[in-house]
Each structure stands twice: as C-alpha cells, then as structure tokens.
Amino acid sequence: MNNEPIYIYAAGVSNSERALKLKSSDRSLRKASFEMILGYDCLKSISSEINTLKEELKPTEISFVCGSSHGSLYATKDFLSGFAKIKRARPFLFQNSLHNSITGFLCQKFELKGPSLTLSLGEQTGENCIDTAMDLLNSSFARACVLLAADGLVEEFKETLQSYVKGFDLKEGAGALILSKEESIGNLSPICSISLSSIQAEEVKTRSPYYDSDCIESIAHLIEEKKNTLVRTAPNKTKTTVNLTYL
Amino acid sequence: MIKSSPVTYAVVKDFEVSSCAGENAEALWKSCLEKQTHIGEDGFGNLINKHYQKKGDPKSPLIHCIQNILNNQGVKPEDSSIGVILATTTGYTATWEHLLLDYLGDDETTETSFNLKEVFSKEPLGYLLEEVKEALSIKGPSAVISTACSASTHSIGLAQQWIKLKKVQKCLVITVELLCLLTKEGFNSFNLLDKTSCKPFDKSRTGINLSEAVGCIYIEGQESIKENEIQIAGFGATTDIHQMTTPDPEGKGTALSMQMAISSANLESQDIDLIHTHGTASYFNDLAESMAIKTIWSKENHPPFISTKGVHGHTLGSSGLLESCILFKAMENGIIPPTTGFNDFDEELGVKPLSTSIEKDINCVLKNTLGFGGANASLVFKKGS
C-alpha cells in the first residue's frame, strides 16, 4: 500500500435547521429530498474549494464519493404514502428513492462529471467513504475526492426509532470533505493530513449525536476545533480511529 | 537501484449467476446463444434459484451462490485477505416496503409499530452485507455500492483497485436484485416498461424488462497471467450531469467512461473485439450508447456490439456482473452471442448490434453500463495470451 500522506483540503457540515431554511428559500430545491438538501447545503459550504478543483484538474480526475445508510428515506416514505393513497407512483419520488439519487443530484448541482460512487455500509458508512476515497487516491484513479455523507431522520418515524436505541439521541445531518494527495491544488493548501485505522473492539461506547454516516461530520467538527483524534465504535464493534495532523 | 514492485493482475478465477434464464451461468449462456427469452407474459423476469424460497428475501440465494464459489475454489472465507463488495439497488426492499406501506396507509398499531423495527433494520443496504459476512465468517474489507444500474460494474472496478493496491489478495464481488413494488411501479411511472420481451437498438423498441438476479465473481491478485485467464484490465467511470433519469443523448459521459476503461487497460480503441452494451431498449439509453460508439470508433468501423437483455431482462445493479459473466463465457468459447430482440435497423442510431452469433477469437472486451443519477461505468476484460 502507498504510504504517502492524504490531505484534507476542505470540510463542511449541514444540519436540519440549515437544510429546512434552505428548502423554504430556494425554489430550485422544491423537488429535492431532504437528504439531497442536507448534502447540497454541505457542499455549498465548500463550493469555492470545489470550484478550484474544477479549474485545476480534469473532470475525470475528481471523484465524488457519496455515502448514505438510509438513502433518501424521506422520498421513499413520500413515495409509499402517495402510493398507499392513490395507488399510483410519482416519478420524481421514485427517482429520489434510489440511494444513488443524492449523488446524481449533487453531481448535477456542482457539475461534477468525474467518477461518482454511492456507498452504504450501515453505521460505518462515513468511515467507508473515507476509506474508499483513500483507495481511489492511492491507486491514482483520482487526484482529488469530494466526499459527502448524509442521512435524514424522518419525523414520522423518529419517536418509534428512538425507542429502539438507548443512550444517545438520534439525529440527522451531513458532512463533507475534500481529500487529495497533492501538496497544493491551485491556490489551495491542505489543512491537515488524515489517517484512519480500524480494529475489532470489545465493547460499543455510547455516542451522541448519532446518525449512521456521522463520521464525516464529526471530522469536520474536529477540524473546526483543531483537535486531532476521533474514535468511533460502530454497533458491530468495529472501532475506527481517525488521526489528523495539522500542517 | 530502486526495485519496482511487480504488477498485480486482477484475475477472474470463478463466477456464477442465477437469473430468470436459469440457475447458473451455463443456462444463461445457452439461452443467449439460442436467442431464447425468459421474460414472462407480464414483461418481468423472475429469478430461478432453488434457494430462493422466501419471496423477496435475497439472503439465502446470495449466500449459497458465494458458498458454492468458495467451495469450488477451496477458499477459507475467514482469511482477512478476502474482501467483499456488494452491489445492489434494492437489497431487502421487497421484504420491508409492504410493511411500511401498511404503516403509512393505516393508523399506527402495536403490530405495525413492531413491524417498523423490521423495516428500519433491513432498509439500510449495509444490513444485507452484514448478514452475508456473518453467515460466511468473512472478516476482510467490505463495501456496498449502490450506483443504480452501474452498481456491479463499479464494484468490479473497485475490486480491481483493491487488488492493485494489495489491500486484499482475493475479492468477492456479489450482487442481488429482486423485483419490488418500488422499482416495478417506479419504472412504470416513467412509461419505461415493455410488456413484451424488449428489443435493444431496434427501431420499434419501447422499453425495458425488469428482472431479477443473484451472482458472484471471485477475483484473485496474481503477478503473472496464464494463457486464457481473464483479467480485469481497465475501469472507467464518469457522471452525466444531464438529467436524473435520462443519459445525455449525445452519449458524451458514457463515451468518456468507455475511453477511460480502454486507456487504463493500456489499450487502443481498435484493440476491443466486442462491446457488451448496457442496451436496455429504452429510447434514450440506446441512443446515448450508439452516439458513444460512433464517437469513439465510427459509424462504419466499430467492433461488434451486443445487448443480451432480450434474454434475461434488466437486472438493475446486477446487470454489470451478470453481463460480465456472459462475456467470460464468450471469451472462453470464442463465440459472440447475438442480440435477442433486435430486428429492424434504426437510422436515427446509425449503428446496429450483432443479430446472429459468430465464432471469433475474443481477447479484449468492453462492458458498458449507465445508471440513473448519471452513473456511467465501463470495464475492459482481457484474456491472457
């Protein structure tokens, strides 16, 4: 495996409040699922860095890796509610129901024409996005990766879902990162390098806030607070340690 | 002197697939050669697999498919050098969507509340992979890719990257797609379904046939390649930013994806002996792929291309893997199977697929797929000489 460092060039987050505000103010998002809006808001916060990538690199050199454990569950709920009532499917709710819809929507919005991957690995979805992006960079398949992980918590299901879990509050949100092995990209300089390692843990520690793909959002907060280490143990006892080294 | 590390080839060691065309890849291959369609009178293709006994439940047929390959190859799954990548769009959807439909259509009761737990444990696509890993004691790296109809093509491409990086020594790419209300009604809402067997690239094509599949490809890293062994030589992927459900009609994105796959295999376009297209028989898919073929090659001088969806239908995220298995059979047997369902040349497309089988030594092939959300992915397979 290639041991050259992988750098974080940008980090962004979104949350329910911001996404709701955006949904009510931006008419171009009226047919977007809530998870798409979370993702859109998140990528918007790092759009100047995304634009620099697009100026400096070929479109095929920029990969987009998008993770969601539940996909556009809001859209699936609306699709099935509508179908239960009128026995007819609504096309845009079907297209939005597919896991890949968040990826496709964001690629259109941010004009990302390179390889795009949609990943979904339960509570390790965020970690899996980072790991996959690192693979694409290490194999030189990509020169830069835009990563996004988003999961929504449908209001109608919230109470029931919360009753199944103990010790932490279920949430929704999104996080985004830009990763590259380049030492600089145009006028962009890296913020820090990132490494990730996983082992099997003996116990699962309580976490809060929580949604399946929250690892990327947690890293973005780590950067905001200039902290170095994130330890996250998924319910299947996979313990992942993320280390950041600031430059 | 710096010693360069040896090239690692990603070699296809074994494969198996069940579809509406039969329990195994051999039955599928035979149907392709005989131009026998397995699409039912309702326009759908139903999975034939003796382990598929609980409607909508993908676990048992998938596990048996993998287990057979592991047994054939004498591989111990608990070896941490084995990776597994699952490609699926629907996962367990057919088992939970009716529970959610009942819940959303009725008042909440204790019973539906209990069922909701079932829904939310099975709705994440990662759940199916966790079950497979647990059942087979697979301990190595894993991923679930859900890039719509290109999912298994991307998965095979990622497996190649893992092998090249020596992240894993061996890799299982697995896939399953089962028919469900969401996809049947969803595709119907776009008027994309053909009630008869589909007609790829035909002037009178009217749409796709949704169908089911379960399959597995087993790949190993090798430092050399033997005669007739098939390697995953190239991988390309791009994203159309045209519309969510229709490809760019000029086929620019899919052309670029194919070119990436060819150049990453260190080949030229003229080295390709055969293209297995996505060929869904939807108006826009076949238009985009025809345009892409004319862009990379030319109207008059392009390699033979085929679609086999008239035999087995469109298995969504499984299609890349299922159709790669057909290509492996074609390379092994030196026969290009025909395009079932194609009869009338469409001047608008300007190119026509092969409609009768031909015997030919096939060394390099291209598998192409397109998916909702603009997900294009292409693979090049090359035979060792």
Alpha helices in B93-177, H assignment, sequence order: 93-105, 110-122, 126-136, 151-164
In sequence order, what are the residues at sequence separation of 6 or more whose Cβ sits closer than 8 angstroms to the Cβ of residue B120?
A157, A161, A164
The SS3 call for residue B55 is coil
- Whether residue B124 and residue A122 make contact (CB cut-off 8 A), yes or no, is yes
In sequence order, what are the residues at sequence separation of 6 or more whose Cβ sits closer than 8 angstroms to the Cβ of residue B27?
B21, B48
Closest residue, chain B, to A140 (C-alpha): B161
Backbone dihedral region of A40: left (phi > 0), alpha (psi from -120 to 50 degrees) or beta? alpha
| Cross-chain CB nearest to A89 (options B165, B188, B240) | B188
Closest residue, chain A, to B99 (C-alpha): A80
pLDDT given at position B206? 96
Q: A205: how many CB neighbours lie within 10 A of its CB? A: 10
Using CA atoms, how far apart are residues B250 and A182, in angstroms rounded to an integer? 33
Flag residues of chain A having pLDDT under 70: 1-2, 205-209
- Is the complex ipTM more than 0.85? yes
pLDDT given at position B106? 61
Distance, C-alpha B73 to centroid of its chain = 22
Using CA atoms, how far apart are residues B331 and A184, in angstroms rounded to an integer? 45
pLDDT given at position A103? 98
| Cross-chain CB nearest to A1 (options B124, B167, B373) | B167
Q: Could you say which residues from 49 to 78 on chain B have a Cβ atom under 8 Å away from some Cβ of chain A?
A: none
Q: Does B256 touch chain A (CB under 8 A)?
A: yes
- Whether residue B182 and residue A94 make contact (CB cut-off 8 A), yes or no, is yes
Distance, C-alpha B253 to centroid of its chain = 18
Q: Looking at beta carbons, which residues of chain B come within 8 Å of A108?
A: 241-242, 244, 374
Kindly report the average pLDDT of chain A as a whole number.
Answer: 93
DSSP secondary structure string, B308-358?
Answer: -HHHH-B-GGGHHHHHHHHHHHHHHHTEEPP-TT--S--TTT------S-E
- Whether residue B372 and residue A104 make contact (CB cut-off 8 A), yes or no, is yes
Cα of B183 to nearest chain A Cα, Å: 8
pLDDT given at position B68? 97
Closest of B117, B8, B24, B112 to residue B65, by C-alpha:
B24
- Pairs across A and B, CB distance < 8 A: 183
pLDDT given at position B78? 86
pLDDT given at position A162? 85
pLDDT given at position B301? 96
In sequence order, what are the residues at sequence separation of 6 or more whose Cβ sits closer than 8 angstroms to the Cβ of residue B133?
B84, B139, B142
Q: Looking at beta carbons, which residues of chain B come within 8 Å of A101?
A: 244, 372-373
Q: What are the two backbone dihedrals, phi and then psi, of residue A95, each rounded to the nearest 5 degrees?
A: -60, -35
Closest residue, chain B, to A31 (C-alpha): B244
Helix B126-136 / helix B59-73 crossing angle, nearest 10 deg: 40
pLDDT given at position A2? 64
pLDDT given at position B112? 55
Q: Looking at beta carbons, which residues of chain B come within 8 Å of A128?
A: 143
Using CA atoms, how far apart are residues B67 and A179, in angstroms rounded to an integer? 37
Closest residue, chain A, to B374 (C-alpha): A104
pLDDT given at position B100? 86
Closest residue, chain A, to B129 (C-alpha): A121
Flag residues of chain B having pLDDT under 50: 1
Q: What are the two backbone dihedrals, phi and then psi, of residue A39, each rounded to the nearest 5 degrees?
A: -65, -40
pLDDT given at position A208? 59
Q: Looking at beta carbons, which residues of chain A come within 8 Å of B166?
A: 1
Provide the token pair at B129. 């992979």
Residue with tokens 């000029």: B250
DSSP A28: G
- Whether residue A89 and residue B185 make contact (CB cut-off 8 A), yes or no, is yes
Side chain identity, residue A11: A
Enter the pTM of the model.
0.97
| Cross-chain CB nearest to B182 (options A79, A121, A124) | A79
Tell me which residues of B are annotated as active site.
149, 278, 314
Q: Could you say which residues from 140 to 199 on chain B have a Cβ atom under 8 Å away from some Cβ of chain A?
A: 141-148, 151, 154, 158, 161-162, 164-167, 181-182, 185-190
Cα of A246 to nearest chain B Cα, Å: 26
B contact test, residue of A68, A69, A86, A99 with most B CBs within 10 A: A99
